[in-house]
């Protein structure tokens, strides 16, 4: 294991970081929907009869359920439950009384590869507590509904060549509040995709002398402020890191301003993820896909780069973009992705879970030939088939944002050397420990 030296910061930096953390947690906690909520009096314990939560098709599964309040087992409550496919409506509804604080629920099986979800509900003193768990069946056999367009590779190579004609233009500004005795931080503005259009990012570089590997990290979904301090441990450990912004909006704007911008982009059918979906040339995410190689252009020009290691890493939308970049740009030497979004998005048409942003269940009017055709050009599973470098992926089974069905589909489509960290209990998050495991994997593979 690597060791991270304690950071020394001055009083002004300490106050700034404290306020950032207070604001972040105050805003984040109410929005997070996790199985065992923060500081809850009630805790669910669900134990599948297979320790890894995985089964073969036609193999019956069951889950033992217990409920604890104040750390003491609840013995006199009835559990309502539903069973159904991953991300789709339930098809079984029933109740069961706790017997000496436990109940055993038969989950049945699946005849085709996939996931079944158990959704639980209990009322205690007039308050409802919920929980869910998903079990997988022959998951290594999951394959994509999404097919690769005949001109997929030709199309993207042509678009990359067009983008190369855009004049190379970079502005770099030192950011003292995210710098310390080990790291220099810069806010970088890069012209990309088309003349007059830009992307931003925070570049963090070790202060020590030497040549270093580079990690490019595209962002998760949404239009929101971003700061690099959560991943300063990369530069503190001797890895250059670029945390990328894809919308062309300065990432250091205050949250109220970002809220106004996000509202202007709209929600639901008006969100950026649906913008231009009728045509592959007009789809909003084209700028994000094409801009990433231009960022790599900038990173390969850094005098501190070791000229050998260029790693893509991200989570959710960022995990999707990291895999896309590895499929597009042969300068990428390794890729790490947490629960990637934008994966087998049209999978719902096969009667099972599709990938975020869930066009067929969260939006209206998305199931048209034109939009489904465009999805295939932007689907991560098609880029994954072109990846020929080592891949590390991690995901959880209980994730209702980027479901395990589509994570397995992407992982199964990768033909290069690959490593997985499966964390069944996780919803749409990774632990701090997992973040460091990702860095361990990156460092172990450096050339």
What's the confidence (pLDDT) of residue 22?
A: 36
Q: Which of 77, 118, 80 is nearest to 101 (CA)?
A: 77
Q: Which of 262, 270, 273, 220 is nearest to 379 (CA)?
A: 273
| Domains parsed from the chain with CATH numbers | 42-139 (2.60.40.10), 152-444 (3.40.50.1820)
pLDDT in tens, 148-179: 999 999 999 999 999 999 999 999 999 999 99
Bond preceding residue 76 cis, omega within 30 of 0: no
Model confidence, pTM = 0.91
Q: What is the mean pLDDT of the chain?
A: 92
* Per-residue pLDDT at 5 exceeds 80: no
What's the confidence (pLDDT) of residue 403?
A: 98
Rounded-to-5 percentages of helix, strand, coil across the chain: 30, 30, 40
Token readout for 310 is 């260029």
**Which residues carry out catalysis?**
316, 399, 428
Total number of residues shown for the chain: 447
User: Average of pLDDT values for 250-279?
Assistant: 89
DSSP letter for each residue of 120-158 = EEEEETTEEEEEEEEEEESGGG---SPPPPTTHHHHHHH
In SS3 terms, 80-114 reads as EEEEEECCCCCCEEEEEECECCEEEEEEECCCCCE
What's the confidence (pLDDT) of residue 429?
A: 95
What's the confidence (pLDDT) of residue 265?
A: 79
């Amino acid at each position: 294991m690597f060791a991270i030296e304690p950071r020394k910061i001055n009083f002004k930096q300490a106050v700034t970081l404290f306020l950032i953390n207070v604001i972040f947690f105050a805003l984040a906690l109410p929005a997070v929907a996790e199985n065992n909520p923060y500081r809850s009096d009630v805790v669910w314990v669900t134990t599948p009869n297979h320790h890894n939560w995985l089964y073969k098709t036609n193999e019956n599964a069951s889950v033992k359920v217990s409920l604890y309040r104040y750390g003491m087992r609840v013995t006199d409550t009835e559990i309502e439950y539903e069973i159904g496919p991953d991300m789709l409506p339930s098809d079984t509804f029933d109740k069961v009384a706790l017997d000496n604080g436990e109940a055993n629920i038969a989950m049945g099986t699946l005849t085709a590869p996939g996931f079944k979800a158990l959704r639980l509900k209990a009322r205690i003193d007039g308050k409802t507590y919920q929980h869910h768990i998903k079990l997988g069946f022959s998951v290594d056999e999951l394959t994509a509904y999404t097919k690769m367009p005949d001109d997929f590779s030709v199309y993207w190579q042509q678009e990359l060549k067009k983008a190369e004609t855009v004049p190379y233009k970079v502005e770099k500004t030192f950011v003292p509040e995210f710098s310390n005795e080990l790291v220099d931080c810069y806010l970088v503005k890069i012209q990309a995709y088309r003349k007059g259009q830009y992307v931003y990012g925070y570049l963090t570089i070790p202060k020590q002398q030497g040549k270093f590997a580079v990690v490019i990290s595209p962002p998760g979904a949404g239009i929101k402020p971003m700061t690099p301090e959560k991943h300063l441990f990369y530069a503190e450990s001797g890895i250059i890191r670029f945390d990328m912004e894809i919308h062309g909006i300065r990432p250091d704007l205050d949250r109220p301003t970002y809220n106004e911008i996000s509202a202007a982009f709209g929600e639901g059918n008006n969100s950026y993820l649906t913008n231009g979906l009728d045509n592959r040339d007009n789809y909003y995410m084209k700028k994000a896909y094409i801009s990433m190689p231009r960022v790599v252009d900038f990173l390969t020009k850094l005098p501190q780069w070791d000229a050998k290691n260029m790693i893509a890493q991200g989570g959710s939308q960022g995990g999707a973009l990291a895999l896309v970049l590895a499929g597009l740009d042969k300068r990428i030497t390794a890729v790490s992705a947490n629960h990637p979004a934008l994966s087998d998005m049209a999978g719902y048409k096969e009667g099972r879970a599709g990938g975020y942003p869930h066009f067929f269940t969260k939006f209206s009017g998305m199931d048209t030939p034109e939009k489904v055709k465009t999805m295939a050009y932007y689907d991560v599973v098609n880029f994954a088939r072109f990846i020929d470098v080592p891949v590390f992926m991690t995901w959880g089974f209980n994730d209702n944002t980027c479901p395990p069905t589509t994570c397995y589909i992407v992982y199964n489509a990768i033909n290069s050397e690959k490593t997985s960290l499966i964390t069944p209990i996780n919803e749409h998050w990774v632990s701090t420990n997992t973040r460091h495991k990702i860095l361990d994997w990156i460092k172990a593979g450096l050339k």
